[in-house]
């Protein structure tokens, strides 16, 4: 918006009325008097006009800034905040990685003013080592940042699927180059679930068998878990067909009898056998009935079903005996506890795998009338 486009036009009325009154005076040479007045007061007049314009600009600037802030506040209906817990479990090392960025906006330059909020949450479940998952957690969100659309929100929504695919491909390509430079070459791979919140819309991209679940309230006063991801098992028909067309085989539910997932970042030895890094991408609009988002690796899902995990989380969130401690609100304490307890419970159920649980609280913002 042009900050000066709505300034008032210069006011000629006063000058015209002053000239008219001078012309009516029989004792003054009109032209000479007007010239003298202009010469004597031109500097003062310009100063007054400059000060008036400066005051007007400052007032309008403050007003426009306030309007932008109010527009931003009103255009985002929900607040998001991420929490995490991870456990090594029975594995010899920790091969999971995660990313939580509640405010991704400052990291993405040149955004259009219609993009009021970016937040990013991700879980990477490594296999064959921790290098692929760590690499993805360090680079994938930066690749998203570098390729993020610069147009308005409509353009962003139009291009975001392409941007996700390009970011996943670059992350995969860069890791495979790094893996090939080492002797012996790295054979690590990783699943990925990345949830990007743009204003009040979630965009979910995933590879492999980690899951993202949205807890949503139903009219019958129950909460259900809505799956936001697809599992990419080699046994799934579409995945198996792609693997076989590429010359690979699926034996015992695994690619070449070894790899448990049909899509991943890394896994260099299997890329020529149909294993792809192209993610499934879904879109989900947040609603007033949404309570939280859960992202977890298969270490959780080996022990808990979606319904069981929702019930486990809700039971703790509804515990009124949990109170605020220090600077942490009661809700912060509850979400921290539920992440930790759910990860522990999965290990105790003999998951036999690393376990990472990310929860993102979802709250509707209060309007000005509700706050008062």
SS (H, E, C) 106-134: HHCCCCCCCCCCEEEEEEEEEECCCHHHH
pLDDT in the model for residue 59: 58
pLDDT in the model for residue 118: 98
**297, exposed or middle or buried, with CB in 10 Å at 0-12, 13-18, 19+?**
buried
Residue 334 contacts residue 317 (beta carbons within 8 Å): yes
Closest by Cα among 224, 207, 251 to 314? 224
Q: Is 3.40.50.300 the CATH classification of the domain at 76-371?
A: no
Q: What is the CA radius of gyration of the chain?
A: 30
pLDDT in the model for residue 52: 54
The residue ranges of DSSP E strands in the chain, in sequence order, are 78-87, 96-101, 118-127, 189-190, 192-198, 201-207, 211-217, 223-227, 250-251, 254-255, 265-266, 280-285, 290-296, 355-364
β-partners of residue 216 are: 224, 290
Q: What's the CA gap between 250 and 273, in Å, rounded?
A: 10
3-state SS assignment for residue 176? helix
**How many CB atoms sit inside 10 A of residue 173's CB?**
12
Domain map (residue ranges) of the chain: 13-71, 76-371
**285, exposed or middle or buried, with CB in 10 Å at 0-12, 13-18, 19+?**
exposed
Six token digits for residue 89: 């479990």
pTM: 0.79
3-state SS assignment for residue 14? helix
Name, in order, each residue with C-beta under 8 angstroms of 162's C-beta and a sequence gap of 6 or more: none
Q: What's the CA gap between 42 and 50, in Å, rounded?
A: 12
Q: What's the CA gap between 315 and 114, in Å, rounded?
A: 38
Per-residue pLDDT of the chain (372 residues; tens, 9 = 90+): 333 333 333 344 433 433 333 334 333 333 333 333 344 444 554 554 555 555 556 655 555 544 444 444 458 999 999 999 999 988 889 999 999 999 999 999 999 999 999 999 999 999 999 999 999 999 999 999 999 999 999 999 999 999 999 999 999 999 999 999 999 999 999 999 999 999 999 999 999 999 999 999 988 778 999 999 999 999 999 999 999 999 999 999 999 999 999 999 999 999 999 999 999 999 999 999 999 999 999 999 999 999 999 999 999 999 999 989 988 999 999 999 999 999 999 999 987 899 999 999 999 987 655 554
pLDDT in the model for residue 103: 97
Closest by Cα among 251, 298, 297, 299 to 273? 251
């Amino acid at each position: 918006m042009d900050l000066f486009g709505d300034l008032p036009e210069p006011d000629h009325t006063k000058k015209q009325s002053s000239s008219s009154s001078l012309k009516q005076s029989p004792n003054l040479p009109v032209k000479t008097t007007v010239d003298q007045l202009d010469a004597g007061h031109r500097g003062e007049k310009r100063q007054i006009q400059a000060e008036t314009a400066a005051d007007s600009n400052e007032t309008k600037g403050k007003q426009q800034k306030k309007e932008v802030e109010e527009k931003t506040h009103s255009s985002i209906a929900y607040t998001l905040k991420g929490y995490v817990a991870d456990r090594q479990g029975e594995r010899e090392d920790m091969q999971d990685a995660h990313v939580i960025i509640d405010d991704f906006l400052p990291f993405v330059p040149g955004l259009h003013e219609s993009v009021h909020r970016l937040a990013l949450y991700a879980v990477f479940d490594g296999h064959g080592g921790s290098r692929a998952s760590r690499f993805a957690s360090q680079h994938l969100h930066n690749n998203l940042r570098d390729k993020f659309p610069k147009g308005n929100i409509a353009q962003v929504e139009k291009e975001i699927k392409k941007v996700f695919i390009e970011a996943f491909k670059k992350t995969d390509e860069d890791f495979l180059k790094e893996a090939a430079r080492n002797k012996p070459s790295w054979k690590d791979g990783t699943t990925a679930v990345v949830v990007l919140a743009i204003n009040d819309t979630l965009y979910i991209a995933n590879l492999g068998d980690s899951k993202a679940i949205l807890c949503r309230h139903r009219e019958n006063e129950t909460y259900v878990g809505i799956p936001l991801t697809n599992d990419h098992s080699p046994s799934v028909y579409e995945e198996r067909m792609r693997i076989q067309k590429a010359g690979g085989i699926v034996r015992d539910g695994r690619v070449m009898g070894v790899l448990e997932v049909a899509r991943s970042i890394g896994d260099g030895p299997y890329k020529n056998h149909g294993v792809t890094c192209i993610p499934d991408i879904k879109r989900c609009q947040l609603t007033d009935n949404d309570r939280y988002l859960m992202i977890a690796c298969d270490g959780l899902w080996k022990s808990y079903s979606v319904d069981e995990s929702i019930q486990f989380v809700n039971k703790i969130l509804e515990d009124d005996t949990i109170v605020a401690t220090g600077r942490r609100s009661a809700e912060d304490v509850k979400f921290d506890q539920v992440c930790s307890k759910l990860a522990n419970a999965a290990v105790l159920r003999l998951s036999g795998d690393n376990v990472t649980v990310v929860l993102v609280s979802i709250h509707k913002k209060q309007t000005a009338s509700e706050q008062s």
